Structure 1
Amino acid sequence: MTTEARFRQLLAAVRGLVRCDAAALLRLLPEEGEPVLQPVAVDGLAEEALGRRFPAAAHPRLARLLESGDGLRFAADAGLPDPYDGLLEHQQELEAVHDCMGAPLRVDGRVWGLVTLDALDPHAFDEVGPQRLAAVVRLLEAGIAAEDTIATLARRAAQEQALARAVRRHSPRELLGRSPAMVRLRAEIDTVAASDLTVLILGETGVGKELVAERLHARSTRQDRPLVQINCAALPETLADSELFGHKRGAFTGAVADRVGKFELADGGTLLLDEVGELPLPVQAKLLRVLQSGDVQRPGSDRVQRVDVRVLAATNRDLREEVARGRFRADLYHRLSVYPLRVPALRERGRDVLALAGSFLEENQHRLGARNLRLSPAASQALLAHDWPGNVRELEHLISRAALRALAAAGRAGRWIAIEPEHLGLGEGASVARHAPTDDGTRGVREPGMPRDPIALPVDTTADAGVDTAVDATGLGLRAATEQFQRRWIEDALRRHGGAMAAAAREAGMDRSNFLRLLRRLGIALPR
């Protein structure tokens, strides 16, 4: 049963105690300024009354009832306009003289709202004394308190369920490594963790930005509160309000129940905005308002809630360049980058690769039920010689594959299993990995802090297809020349496949959604 249905049951019980033609339950809205009352249930009034709001300053009868201690009955000749004139159900014509009474309702010592009783007979309430009116008030207050308790428990249960789904699960992994770059990073994290400053975590794809966020949260004063993560890259603009701020039931088509937003879930804790550089501009504006004021308002709700959230943001994009290109708001960038932290790429960490490989071997050893997975000296040298374009994530996947291959080759009978270079398979697709074009159009080794989002375009694809993709790079920077090459390659691929997006994406070695995003970024007209 809905809250409105339970309130209607309460009004039906009231009409059993007091004979009247209409009864209404009005709630005092928690708005600043003059008090405003909104009907939450009516009995005997037209349904349109539920869509009305009654400012007390514009309705003297309601204002008098709010100020009264135990309620009052208006005299027939009071001369005060009635807020329900013309709203009585099935009323054929307006009758100016009728009986009217009401009382304020209190829950937990605060005024919750009003009950109003109306009758067309001006003597209908002659026999309703203070005791009967007090009984009506007690009945309603008890029912409202019970309903508030039910609603609070339901909200708490929904919030706990949503929190269980959204909370960032702490992995057992640590920020391993003794390289100078990692020592500096851990020192920086420990410096800023105890503060409430907003931190912008920068780094290429796969370097472990999530682990940095976990360490920041674990060493903060909010460590006992949730760490909630939202993937901004998977946040459609149409659902951004609902994901970030929640919504009330009925706020839009399909909103069949109240929803708690990520900011409310993270109240008192930490919110990680992962891939924040992917946010559409309209969503950036809404996010900026919350970061500036700390106030969250669910779509469809009049209630503004203040939240206490420490915000962390992570991105593999160069946000300063995104600002220069008009793809990211400058004010939001400055709001997020109060304390920037750059996570070093794996190629900058020297022998840390061996410590990380050992950790991944330990995980695979337990997962596969294998004995003593070990790197051979030759495999260790091969790992140290690789440039790791996919960073730690690439190393993790490579070690998982190598463990499976070594186990399949050696079996489970030996005391230990050696990972050899042939198990690593570092030669597989090496040319693609080293020269994969990135989201910002660059290839090969990047400057520190530049983003990486590998796109598996084989270097010799265009040569095999017999397509002339030569680029006149005279006067162009590396980024512009690479974008020009990508644009020409994609246009030729679309022509070869008759405009078939899926076929062109397969040739590019990309999934269709990322291929479509690349087309839009390069300004390529989408085929019909």
Structure 2
Amino acid sequence: MSNQQLRCTIDNMAKPNLEALLSVALDLTTSLGAEDRYRRLLEAVRHVVPCDAACLMRYQDGVLVPLAAHGLAPEALGRTFCTKAHPRLDILCHAEAPVRFAPDTELPDPFDGLLASDATALAHVHACLGCPLRVEGTLIGLLTADARDPRAFEGVDAATLSWLGALAGAAVRTSQLIDALEHSAERLGLVADDLRRAAERERGASLLGTSPAMQRLRDEIALVGPSDLTVLITGETGVGKELVARAVHAASGRRGEPLLHVNCAALPESVAESELFGHVRGAFTGAEQSRPGKLEVADKGTLLLDEIGELPLSIQPKLLRALQEGEVQRVGADRSLRVDVRVVAATNRDIEREVAEGRFRADLFHRLNVYRLAVPPLRERRSDIPLLAGHFCDEARARLGVGPVRLTKAARELLAAGAWPGNVRELENTVFRMVLQASRGVPRGAPVVVKPAHLGVDVAAASEPAAREDDAEKATPAAAAAPLNEQVDAFQRGLIERAVAQHDGNWAAAARSLGMHRSNLHHLAKRLGLR
């Protein structure tokens, strides 16, 4: 259109029409949400086109999804329109300019029966037009208008419709870009939150140990890590399954993307679906805004489903579908999203027994159990205990702000002989507690010497047996000839007897001084023959 033609068009355009188009143009420069932008756009359409119904739709892969509507029944916004099933919409999608359909055309109207004012069918003869919305030659949507009066659109000139279509296309594109930026920012924010929490959990920890069991585990991780297969990590509580998952992620081609963590045991059934798959605004009470789920946020990265055996049965079919199809559907959404996520699952349960007893779906188990990594318990790699204890002593020194930490020989032997039902996590907590006890009264920066008495006995109460401990380290070969577990039992028995005696037979007070729960002290005393 030449400048002269443009000036003539503007001169001939009715003032209300010009003001309506101007309002659409101005909205492009304002900070509006998508819903408000679309609502104001349809208000402008009603000023320019005297219609009974208007609809703004987004186009994607042969399907049109309503974004906003005026004069249509509420259910219209919940539908999708395949262009191949609706000839009028198909014609509009292939058009380069606005199209007015003949009032008596035999082509069915896609909104027949969907008028808000009258849910009955549209009259066979009615006015209908549509504008393809194109940005840089690419179809992004349609704008349609219907009126019961077959002559309603005769006064609307083609140039005005072209302007309206161009501005509407720009408005939709602007909203899409804003939504994409907001979604990206939200995703990055959620990723940052997860990584921050992960850093707090990890605290620089890594897979430590030189035992044959740990070397075999490292070899398995090196094999499966780059493969992108789904991995199921099994092992007792506290063995370090999350560290194994991190090692798998670090060995994969996704190591540059986030590794997100979901603790399935901490997910109430009422929120588990939303946490994993996300939800749209208004999907349920309290859903004030749309939110992506962890599967969507972890796109291109890895998602650790910790304690997968605790996942509610009601959620398992949807997770299975997501793993099989690579698609997730937010709660309340009418369409699915493609995601590219590697899933690593972990559990301390006997998962085969859970399947046999009907508490876990067999099909989901087989989908997760593509490659299994069994993490050995600490009792099967006792040679790693001194190395782990030294690592935790160094961590304790940094976190507690104390001087160099040294374990005495007796303390090392005591730790090496422990049962450790809580595995590495229990060992870590015990070492931290011993270092804290040993640091009491030690000048800042001075060496902290950890002795067996610091396993749970107050330093003041331990001052008397300290000499005995030093003697134990210099024990004669005959005394040392006793099995290590018998020496440990004798040492624990002596500690308990002294603690109970110092508290006049009060076992609760003795348990507190030993840093133990009363029931645990009773069980230990019974095993040692003291009760």
TM-score range relative to shorter protein? 0.7 to 0.9
Q: Which residue of 1 aligns with 2:44?
A: 13
Q: 1:387 to 1:103 in 2, by over 3 A?
A: same
| 1:207 equivalent in alignment to 2:236 | no
Alpha-carbon shift at residue 187 of structure 1 (Å): 1.7
Q: Which residue of 1 aligns with 2:88?
A: 61
Alpha-carbon shift at residue 274 of structure 1 (Å): 0.5
- Structure-2 separation of matches of 1:165 and 1:92: 48
Q: What RMSD, in angstroms, separates the aligned Cα atoms of the two structures?
A: 3.1
Alpha-carbon shift at residue 419 of structure 1 (Å): 0.4
Give the one of 133, 144, 158 matched to 1:105: 133
Q: Which residue of 2 aligns with 1:135?
A: 163
Q: 1:389 to 1:133 in 2, by over 3 A?
A: same
Which amino acid is the alignment partner of residue 143 of structure 1? Answer: A
Q: 1:211 to 1:81 in 2, by over 3 A?
A: closer
Which amino acid is the alignment partner of residue 170 of structure 2? Answer: A
- Structure-1 separation of matches of 2:113 and 2:222: 67
Q: 1:456 to 1:10 in 2, by over 3 A?
A: farther
Give the one of 446, 449, 453 matched to 1:422: 453
- Structure-1 separation of matches of 2:241 and 2:119: 69
Alpha-carbon shift at residue 112 of structure 1 (Å): 2.6
Q: Which residue of 1 aligns with 2:142?
A: 114
Deviations 1:150-173 (A, max 9, x none): 111111111112222234435411
Which amino acid is the alignment partner of residue 92 of structure 2? Answer: L
Q: Which residue of 2 aligns with 1:154?
A: 182
Identity of aligned residues (%): 53
| Residues 8-407 of structure 1: pairs in structure 2 closer than 5 A | 8-28=39-59, 30=61, 35-45=62-72, 47=74, 49-51=76-78, 53-54=80-81, 56=83, 59-84=86-111, 97-107=125-135, 109-167=137-195, 168-169=198-199, 171-407=203-439
State the SS of the aligned residue for 1:282: coil
| Residues 424-463 of structure 1: pairs in structure 2 closer than 5 A | 424-425=455-456
State the SS of the aligned residue for 1:302: coil
Alpha-carbon shift at residue 53 of structure 1 (Å): 4.9
Alpha-carbon shift at residue 95 of structure 1 (Å): 6.3
Q: Name the TM-score, length of structure 2 as normaliser.
A: 0.74
Q: 1:298 to 1:16 in 2, by over 3 A?
A: same
Which amino acid is the alignment partner of residue 159 of structure 1? Answer: R
Do the aligned residues in 2 keep the contact of 1:270 with 1:312 (CA within 8 Å)?
Answer: yes
Alpha-carbon shift at residue 97 of structure 1 (Å): 4.6
Do the aligned residues in 2 keep the contact of 1:297 with 1:304 (CA within 8 Å)?
Answer: yes
Alpha-carbon shift at residue 52 of structure 1 (Å): 5.1
Q: Which residue of 2 aligns with 1:502?
A: none
Q: 1:240 to 1:109 in 2, by over 3 A?
A: farther
Alpha-carbon shift at residue 10 of structure 1 (Å): 1.2
Q: 1:307 to 1:62 in 2, by over 3 A?
A: closer
Deviations 1:112-137 (A, max 9, x none): 33212334544443343332221111
- Structure-2 separation of matches of 1:266 and 1:403: 39
State the SS of the aligned residue for 1:112: strand
- Structure-2 separation of matches of 1:70 and 1:381: 85
- Structure-2 separation of matches of 1:79 and 1:188: 67
State the SS of the aligned residue for 1:42: strand
Alpha-carbon shift at residue 379 of structure 1 (Å): 0.8
Q: 1:226 to 1:92 in 2, by over 3 A?
A: closer
- Structure-2 separation of matches of 1:376 and 1:414: 19
| 1:3 equivalent in alignment to 2:34 | yes
Q: 1:356 to 1:459 in 2, by over 3 A?
A: closer
Alpha-carbon shift at residue 252 of structure 1 (Å): 2.5
Q: 1:274 to 1:89 in 2, by over 3 A?
A: closer
- Structure-1 separation of matches of 2:93 and 2:444: 84
Alpha-carbon shift at residue 402 of structure 1 (Å): 1.0
- Structure-1 separation of matches of 2:391 and 2:104: 86
Alpha-carbon shift at residue 56 of structure 1 (Å): 4.6
Do the aligned residues in 2 keep the contact of 1:248 with 1:299 (CA within 8 Å)?
Answer: yes
User: Which structure has the larger Rg?
Assistant: 2
Q: Which of 129-138 and 199-208 deviates more? A: 129-138
Query: Any unmatched runs of 5+ in structure 1?
Result: 432-454, 465-528
- Structure-2 separation of matches of 1:460 and 1:411: 32
Do the aligned residues in 2 keep the contact of 1:162 with 1:260 (CA within 8 Å)?
Answer: no
Alpha-carbon shift at residue 74 of structure 1 (Å): 2.1
Q: Which residue of 1 aligns with 2:442?
A: 411
- Structure-1 separation of matches of 2:444 and 2:92: 86
Do the aligned residues in 1 keep the contact of 2:104 with 2:124 (CA within 8 Å)?
Answer: no
Which amino acid is the alignment partner of residue 395 of structure 1? Answer: L
Which amino acid is the alignment partner of residue 65 of structure 1? Answer: L
State the SS of the aligned residue for 2:299: coil
- Structure-1 separation of matches of 2:342 and 2:118: 56
Q: Which of 266-275 and 183-192 deviates more? A: 183-192
Q: Which residue of 2 aligns with 1:514?
A: none
State the SS of the aligned residue for 2:143: strand
Do the aligned residues in 1 keep the contact of 2:245 with 2:304 (CA within 8 Å)?
Answer: yes
Q: Pick the structure with more helix per residue.
A: 2
Q: 1:177 to 1:107 in 2, by over 3 A?
A: same
- Structure-2 separation of matches of 1:305 and 1:84: 27
| Residues 471-486 of structure 1: pairs in structure 2 closer than 5 A | none
Which amino acid is the alignment partner of residue 93 of structure 2? Answer: L
State the SS of the aligned residue for 1:411: coil
Deviations 1:80-116 (A, max 9, x none): 4545566656679976654322122224644333212
Deviations 1:275-318 (A, max 9, x none): 11112222222222222222222222233222221111111111
Alpha-carbon shift at residue 205 of structure 1 (Å): 0.6
Alpha-carbon shift at residue 456 of structure 1 (Å): 9.3
State the SS of the aligned residue for 2:304: strand
- Structure-2 separation of matches of 1:162 and 1:358: 35
Deviations 1:350-397 (A, max 9, x none): 231111111111111122221111101111111112111111111111
Deviations 1:248-278 (A, max 9, x none): 2222332221111111111111111111111
- Structure-1 separation of matches of 2:218 and 2:119: 77
- Structure-2 separation of matches of 1:413 and 1:86: 82
Alpha-carbon shift at residue 59 of structure 1 (Å): 4.7
- Structure-2 separation of matches of 1:295 and 1:188: 29
Question: How many residues of Structure 1 are paired with residues of Structure 2 in the alignment?
Answer: 435
